Chain A
Amino acid sequence: MAFKTPKKLVIGAIIAVTSVGGMAFAAGGGVMGDYKMKHPDWSFNGAFGTYDRAAAQRGYQVYREVCAACHSLKYVAFRHLGDEGAPFYLEDFPNPSDNPYVKNFAADWSVEDIDSETGDIIERTGIPADYFPPIFPNDAAARASNGGSLPPDLSSMVKARSNGADYLYNLLTAYDSPKPAGLEITPGLHWNPVMEGGKIAMANPLSDELVTYEPTEMMDYGELKLVDPPVATVEQMASDLTQFLAWTADPKLEQRKSIGLMTIIYLLILSVLLFFSYKRVWRNVEH
Chain B
Amino acid sequence: MSGPSTYEPKYAAAKWMDQRLPIIRMGADFMTFPSPRNLNYWYTFGGILALCLVVQIISGVILAMHYVADVDKAFASVQRIRRDVPFGWLLQSMHAVGASMFFLAVYMHMFRGLYYGSYKAPREVIWILGCAIYLVMMATAFLGYTLPWGQMSFWGATVITGFFSAVPIVGESLQQWLLGGYAVDNATLQRFFALHYLLPFVIAALVGLHVWALHHVGQNNPIGISEKTKEDTLAFHPFYTVKDAFAIAVFLVIFAIFLFYLPDALGHADNYIEADAMKTPPHIVPEWYFLPFYAILRAVPDKLAGILLMIGAIAVLFVLPWLDTHKVRSMRFRPVARWFFLIFIVMCFILGWCGAGTPDNVAIKLGSKMVDGVKVDSGITFYRLSQISTIYYFAYFLIILPVLGLIEKPIKRPDSITKAVLGDGKRGAALAPAE
**Interface residues, chain A, with chain B CB atoms under 8 Å away:** 21-22, 25-28, 47, 75-76, 80, 152, 155-156, 159-162, 164, 196, 249, 251-252, 255-257, 259-261, 263-264, 267-268, 270-271, 274-275, 277-278, 281-287
Contacts and interface: CB of A to CB of B under 8 A. Distances in A.
Give the most central of B276, B282, B434: most A CB within 10 Å. B282
Contact of A155 (B79, B422, B429, B430): B79
Give the most central of A25, A152, A268, A278: most B CB within 10 Å. A278
Interface stretch (B18-26, B52-60, B65-73, B248-256): B248-256
Interface of B: 37-38, 76, 79-80, 82-83, 89-90, 93, 234, 238-239, 242-243, 245-246, 249-250, 252-253, 256-257, 259-261, 263-264, 269-270, 272-273, 276, 278-279, 281-283, 421-422, 426, 429-434
A275 B276 CA distance: 50
B249 A278 contact: no
Contacts of A22: 279
Given A47-B261, A287-B38, A25 B79 contact: no
A283 B433 CA distance: 7
Nearest to B426: A286
A277 B244 CA distance: 11
B253 A267 contact: yes
Contacts of A277: 242, 245-246
Given A25-B279, A252-B83, A282-B242, 10 more contacts: A25-B276, A27-B269, A75-B79, A156-B79, A256-B93, A256-B263, A268-B253, A270-B249, A277-B242, A283-B433
Contacts of A252: 82-83, 89
Given A267-B249, A267-B256, A285-B234, A278 B261 contact: no
A89 B117 CA distance: 59
Nearest to A83: B83
Contacts of A28: 269
A260 to B, nearest CB: 2
Contact of A263 (B260, B264, B283, B430): B260
11 contacts: A21-B279, A22-B279, A159-B272, A160-B269, A161-B269, A249-B272, A256-B93, A260-B260, A274-B246, A278-B243, A278-B246
Contact of A75 (B37, B83, B434): B83
A241 B426 CA distance: 70
Give the most central of B243, B250, B252, B269: most A CB within 10 Å. B269
B422 A286 contact: yes
B91 to A, nearest CB: 12
Main secondary structure of the interface of B (DSSP, over half): helix
Contact of B249 (A259, A274, A287): A274
Given A27-B282, A274-B245, A284-B433, A260 B273 contact: no
Nearest to B431: A286
Given A283-B433, A285-B239, A257 B260 contact: yes
Contacts of B433: 283-285
A40 B434 CA distance: 62
A114 to B, nearest CB: 20
B431 A285 contact: yes
Contacts of B426: 286
B432 A285 contact: yes
A225 to B, nearest CB: 31
Contacts of B429: 286
B283 to A, nearest CB: 8
A27 B257 CA distance: 26
Contacts of A287: 37-38, 234, 421
A286 B83 CA distance: 53
Contacts of B249: 267, 270-271, 274
Contacts of B252: 267
Contacts of A255: 89
A160 B250 CA distance: 32
A194 to B, nearest CB: 14
Give the most central of B239, B260, B283, B430: most A CB within 10 Å. B260
B264 A159 contact: yes
Contacts of A25: 273, 276, 279
Contacts of B282: 26-27, 196
Given A277-B246, A285-B433, A160 B273 contact: yes
Contacts of B246: 271, 274-275, 277-278
A231 to B, nearest CB: 32
B270 A27 contact: yes
A259 B264 contact: no
A284 B434 contact: yes
B256 A284 contact: no
Contacts of B79: 75, 155-156
